[in-house]
Amino acid sequence: MTNILVAGGAGYIGAHTCLDLFSKSFTPIVYDNLSNGHAEFVKWGPLEVGDIRDRRRLDEVFAKYSPAAIVHFAAAIEVGESVRDPGLYFDNNVGGTLTLLRAAQAAGVDKIVFSSTCATYGVPTSIPMNEAHPQSPINPYGRSKLIVEQMLQDLDRYQGFRSIALRYFNAAGADPEARIGEWHSPETHAIPIALDAALGRRPHFQVLGTDYDTRDGSCVRDFIHVLDLADAHTRAIEHLIKNGTSHALNLGTGHGTTVKELLAAVRRVVGRDFDIKYGPRREGDSPALVADNALAKRTIGWSPRHDLQSIIETAWNWHANHLPH
C-alpha cells in the first residue's frame, strides 16, 4: 500500500479522509499535534505526534515513511477566533504550511492536496460561485488559506510542485457506522450545535443574524457530507499520482440552505424540538456561500452523493450515541 502523509489526520475531516484512503488501498500516516484532533480517531494507519511548525520532527517522519504525497488539514479553522487573534492564524496556517512544504521538498515529495475553503472568496458577487469567482476574503482565516493557495501556485509554476487546493463549503455529517464523527471542543459548527440543543446538552441554538438579504433573513450555506469531502481528497491524490496537473476545486453540493431551514430539517429528522434564540450578525460571516462544483466533476470525477437528510441522520447517530463527553 502507498503511504500518504495526512497532516491533521486526527481531526474531523482528516480522520474521515484516512478512512477513505485506507478503503482505497492507501496507508494514511497521520501527523497531528492533537491540539484539536483525537488520537482515538486514528484507526487506519500509524499516528506520529508533531506540529507542522516543527521542521526537525517533520524530517524524521518523512524519512521514516517516504510518503508519495501529502494531504494537508493541519490548521486553525474558526472564523471568530481568527478575527480575535489574526497572528495565530498566520503563524499556524501560513508559517506552518511553509515549513511542511519545505520539509516535503527536502524529502523529494512534490505532491499535496490542500484543505482550503470557500472563505477565500469573501462576499459573493454571484451565486453559485465557481473557481473563477474573485477571491477577496473578509476574515483572517480565509486570508490565511488564500495565501497558502498563492504559495502553492508559485511552487507549481517555478518548481513543479503540484497541488490540488480543495475549497470546502460547509462540512457536516459523520461516518454512518459512527466509528468517528464531528468532535470539536468548543463546538462552533451549526449542525452539531443544533443536535446538542435537541439533546438538551445546551439550552438553545443561537441564530447569528436575521437581516441578511436572503429568503428568510438568515445566512445561506452549502452543507456537504464529510464522506463526500473524503472521497474528493482520495480522488485528488490519485489525480496527482497519475501526473495530473494542479487545480483549485470547489467542494459543495450546489444547493444552499438557510440557517432557519437547517433548523427545521434538524427538528424533522430527529423528531425533537429545541429552543432557538436570535442575535446580531457575527463579524466575518458572508451572507451566502453556495458552490458551483462542475470543475471538480470534470477534473477528478467527483460528485456529492449525500443529501441534507443523510448529513443530519449520520451526525445525529454519532452525537446521540457515540460522541464522548
DSSP string, 118-180: GGGT-S-SSSSB-TTS----SSHHHHHHHHHHHHHHHHHHHH--EEEEEEE-EEE---TT-SS
Give the integer Cα–Cα distance in Å for 227 and 20.
8
Q: At what angle do helices 190-198 and 308-321 cross, to 10 degrees?
A: 50
Report residue 267 as a C-alpha cell. Answer: 427538528
> Phi and psi (nearest 5°) for 30?
-80, 125
Provide the b/e sequence for 244-258 (b: ≥16 CB within 10 Å).
bebbbbbbbbbebbb
Of the candidates 31, 121, 141, 168, the residue annotated as catalytic is 141
Give the integer Cα–Cα distance in Å for 215 and 237.
38
Helix%, strand%, coil% for the chain, nearest 5:
40, 20, 40
- All residues at 6 or more sequence positions from 83 whose CB lies less than 8 Å from its CB, including other chains: 139, 140, 283, 284
Active site residue 141: yes
Give the integer Cα–Cα distance in Å for 97 and 145.
10
Active site residues: 141
